[in-house]
């Protein structure tokens, strides 16, 4: 009995040693397996080891070996799995498919067989079967502890720890799709979206049916507003789950970003019928209605969201964000009651504070209005990592890189297309109004805030993260004239899906593109650039009153806002110096005083004939997706120019931080 046990233990030890050679020396593993089989003919583990080792060593007889094994033991799923892998490696796809299907028929919980099936279905051009098979794999596969810890670290905003764990896993298995997905998530957490996109693509190349990674990629693309790239990914996800609320909501968001507002509203309207108790859905539907100019219906949708969850601060904030909306006394009382509850979530509370600020401003209780605006800003400031000093370094680095000599040496390069009209400046400066005026012209199409210039800048390393380093701008300096032309052509290609009308010109209204006036000059030297400016105190306080969904991280502190404004003025002064006359400036207050005169100068700069319709901008029927969407549908009034003065007693910090600009 003891000798029999000793023999079994000795055999197991030999098998383990041979298995340990599979990755480093598969030919030696095959040789050892063959020796074991001489002494133990028919041993199942040794037979499987022999077939696997021959496949890994590229032995052309591997398939025949495994065929014989599978025929000898037709009901043993691991043989069928290994045979399928070998046949797939040899591009005998039909035979491989039969073997893998037999493996999961024999053992439905064999995770690796489902993974191989997913890859084979992808190769055969059957994405639905691929995704179904991979769904089985992800359900059955046990998560590696290292990866589980990495995902936990990432979820708790510890990207360095997560990266160490994920890279450790990849050192063990370079083709681990789950580890690549974690790395992609880390890149996204660091806002390195180009790297995140690349890693998710690599992940899906390794595991084409990995829909968890596909969904992550959709979300990252949504953050970057790359709507066209979202749609094919969502179509594939919807093939597997056509009724998914999440996938259909993201599809509606993509159509909205592309300016296809009616399609977006149709999807969201259908979803509200199917999921009438989902308060977040009603807010999304309200936003789509608002963008399409259906303000009354948007109000009803927002109010529905608030009724479904009385503490839902975003519902009240969306009502306030309409700008032209006035709260009832009952709604103000309801907001106060919710904001005074101790257990309310900070996210709901800060939205309620901003909404109360607007409600009390309308009621002319300016002291209490300012108090609520300040409370909302303080709550948000605690959650963002904006660094005013880093922004100052970024501005200084841009000035250093885009010198007059640097730009002059590249004069004449780039794509010469005159189509784009860039509107830049501070948020809440009147840029949406200028967009609406220009979009009223028969030769101009208004699109939205496009992410493409910023995306190109990120790829070229023009980021705050690199500002001040000796390497800042190196990639830009290495660009040849051909490279600059190709980048301009790429911008034109990427923005084409947003152009729904056959007009010669289109508007790219992304305020923060003022950072990239130099880049625009290099790659699109014939494009127009319009800087919309508003008086410092009015503009800065308007930003303080506005809660932005994302990206405008400087706007939650009066000191941060003032420093950001100063950086903006400094950088635009630099571009005026190195590119004299290149940027046309519109002063909002001048526009209010002399609308026709300023519009005529604006159109002349754009090379466009004057059209009376531009003065009737409030009549233009188009989708508007900014905080000013309702205001630009009203005639221009002078009343709003000095609204900030109602709050002047509480703006000492802002005035001090603005310094000479406040006078």
Cβ 167 vs Cβ 159: under 8 Å:
no
- What is the Cα–Cα distance from 504 to 80, expressed in whole angstroms? 61
What's the distance, Cα to Cα, between the start and end of the chain in Å? 99
Name the average pLDDT for the chain. Answer: 88
- What is the Cα–Cα distance from 130 to 530, expressed in whole angstroms? 49
- What is the Cα–Cα distance from 161 to 150, expressed in whole angstroms? 7
Q: What phi and psi, each to the nearest 5 degrees, are found at residue 265?
A: -60, -35
> Are β-strands 444-448 and 420-425 bridged in parallel, bridged antiparallel, or unpaired?
unpaired
Q: Which two tokens stand for residue 224?
A: 């970057």
* DSSP class of 241: -
Fold of the domain built from segment(s) 14-140: 1.25.40
In the chain, domain spans: 14-140, 388-662
pLDDT tens figures, 579-604 = 999 999 999 999 999 999 999 999 99
Q: What is the pLDDT of residue 521?
A: 98
Place of tokens 């948020």: 427
Smallest Cα–Cα separation from 221: which of 246, 196, 258?
Answer: 196
Collect contacts of 596-600 with beta carbons under 8 A, ≥24 apart: 599/437
Cβ 151 vs Cβ 182: under 8 Å:
yes
Out of 76-90, 106-120, 328-342, 648-662, which region has the weakest mean confidence (pLDDT)?
A: 76-90
* Overall average pLDDT of the 569-577 stretch: 98
Helices and strands in the chain: count of H runs, count of E runs? 34, 5
255-271 as b/e: b if 16+ CB within 10 A: bbbbbbbebbbebbeeb
Burial of 202 (0-12, 13-18, 19+ CB in 10 A): middle
* Homologous superfamily of domain range 388-662: P-loop containing nucleotide triphosphate hydrolases (3.40.50.300)
The backbone region for 430, taken as left when phi is positive above 0, alpha when psi lies in -120 to 50, beta otherwise, is left
106 Cα distance to chain centroid: 43
Out of 246-260, 326-340, 617-631, which region has the weakest mean confidence (pLDDT)?
A: 617-631
pLDDT tens figures, 142-164 = 767 778 878 877 887 788 878 88
Helix (H) or strand (E) run with residue 507 in it: strand 505-509
Cβ 15 vs Cβ 45: under 8 Å:
yes
Place of tokens 């006078």: 663
Q: Which two tokens stand for residue 28?
A: 């030696």
Reply yes or no on whether the pLDDT at 87 is more than 70. yes
- What is the Cα–Cα distance from 261 to 248, expressed in whole angstroms? 14
Cβ 329 vs Cβ 661: under 8 Å:
no
- 441 CB-near residues (< 8 Å, 6+ apart): 603, 608, 611, 613, 614
Q: 568 pLDDT band (50/70/90 cuts)? A: very high
Q: 656 pLDDT band (50/70/90 cuts)? A: very high
Question: What three-state secondary structure class fits 422?
Answer: strand
Q: What phi and psi, each to the nearest 5 degrees, are found at residue 532?
A: -100, 125
């Amino acid at each position: 009995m003891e000798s029999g046990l000793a023999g079994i233990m000795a055999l197991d030890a030999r098998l383990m040693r041979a298995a340990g050679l599979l990755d480093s020396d598969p030919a030696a593993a095959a040789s050892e397996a063959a020796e074991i089989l001489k002494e133990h003919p028919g041993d199942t583990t040794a037979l499987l080891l022999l077939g696997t080792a021959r496949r890994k060593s590229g032995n052309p007889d591997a398939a025949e070996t495994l065929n014989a094994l599978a025929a000898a033991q037709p009901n043993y799923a691991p043989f069928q799995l290994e045979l399928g892998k070998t046949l797939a490696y040899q591009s005998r796809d039909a035979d491989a498919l039969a073997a893998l299907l037999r493996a999961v028929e024999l053992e439905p919980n064999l995770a690796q067989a489902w993974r191989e099936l997913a890859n084979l279905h992808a190769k055969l051009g059957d994405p639905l079967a691929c995704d179904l098979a991979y769904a089985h794999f992800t359900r059955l596969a046990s998560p590696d502890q290292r990866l589980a810890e990495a995902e936990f670290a990432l979820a708790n905003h510890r990207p360095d720890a997560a990266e160490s764990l994920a890279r450790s896993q990849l050192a063990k298995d370079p083709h681990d799709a789950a580890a690549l997905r974690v790395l992609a998530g880390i890149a996204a957490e660091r806002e390195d979206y180009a790297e995140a996109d690349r890693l998710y693509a690599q992940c899906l190349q390794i595991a084409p049916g990995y829909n968890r990674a596909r969904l992550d990629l959709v979300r990252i693309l949504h953050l970057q507003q790359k709507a066209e790239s979202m749609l094919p990914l969502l179509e594939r996800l919807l093939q597997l789950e056509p009724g998914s609320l999440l996938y259909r909501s993201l599809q509606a968001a993509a159509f909205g970003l592309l300016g296809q507002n009616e399609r977006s509203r149709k999807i969201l309207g259908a979803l509200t019928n199917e999921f009438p108790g989902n308060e977040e859905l009603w807010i999304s539907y309200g936003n789509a209605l608002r963008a399409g100019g259906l303000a009354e219906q948007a109000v009803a949708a927002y109010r529905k969201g608030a009724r479904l969850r009385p503490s839902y601060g975003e519902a009240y904030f969306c009502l306030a964000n309409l700008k032209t909306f006035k709260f009832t006394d009952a709604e103000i009382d309801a907001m106060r009651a919710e904001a005074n509850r101790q257990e309310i979530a900070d996210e709901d509370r800060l939205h309620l504070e901003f909404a109360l600020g607007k409600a009390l401003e309308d009621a002319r209780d300016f002291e209490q209005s300012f108090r609520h605006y300040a409370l909302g800003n303080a709550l948000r400031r605690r959650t963002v990592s904006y660094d005013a000093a880093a922004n100052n370094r970024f501005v200084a680095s841009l000035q250093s890189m885009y010198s007059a000599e640097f730009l002059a040496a590249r004069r004449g390069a780039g794509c010469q297309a005159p189509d784009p009209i860039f509107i830049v400046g501070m948020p809440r400066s009147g840029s949406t109004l200028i967009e609406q005026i220009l979009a009223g012209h028969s030769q101009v199409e208004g699109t939205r805030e496009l992410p493409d210039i910023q995306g190109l800048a990120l790829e070229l390393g023009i980021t705050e993260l690199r500002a001040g380093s000796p390497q800042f701008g190196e990639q830009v300096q290495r660009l040849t004239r051909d490279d600059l032309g190709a980048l301009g052509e790429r911008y034109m290609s990427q923005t084409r899906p947003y152009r729904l009308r056959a007009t010669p010109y289109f508007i790219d209204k992304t305020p923060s593109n003022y950072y990239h006036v130099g880049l625009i000059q290099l790659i699109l030297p014939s494009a127009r650039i319009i800087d919309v400016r508003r008086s410092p105190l009015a503009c800065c306080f308007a930003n303080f009153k506005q809660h932005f969904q994302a990206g405008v991280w400087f706007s939650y502190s009066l000191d941060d806002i003032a420093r950001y404004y100063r950086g903006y003025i400094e950088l635009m002064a630099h571009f005026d110096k190195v590119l004299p006359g290149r940027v046309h400036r519109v002063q909002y207050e001048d526009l209010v005083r002399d609308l026709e005169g300023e519009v005529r100068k604006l159109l002349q700069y754009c090379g466009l004939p004057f059209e009376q319709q531009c003065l009737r901008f409030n009549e233009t029927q188009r989708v508007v997706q900014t905080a000013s969407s309702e205001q630009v549908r009203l005639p221009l009034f002078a009343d709003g120019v000095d609204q900030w003065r109602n709050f002047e007693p509480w703006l000492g910090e802002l005035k001090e931080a603005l310094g000479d600009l406040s006078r």
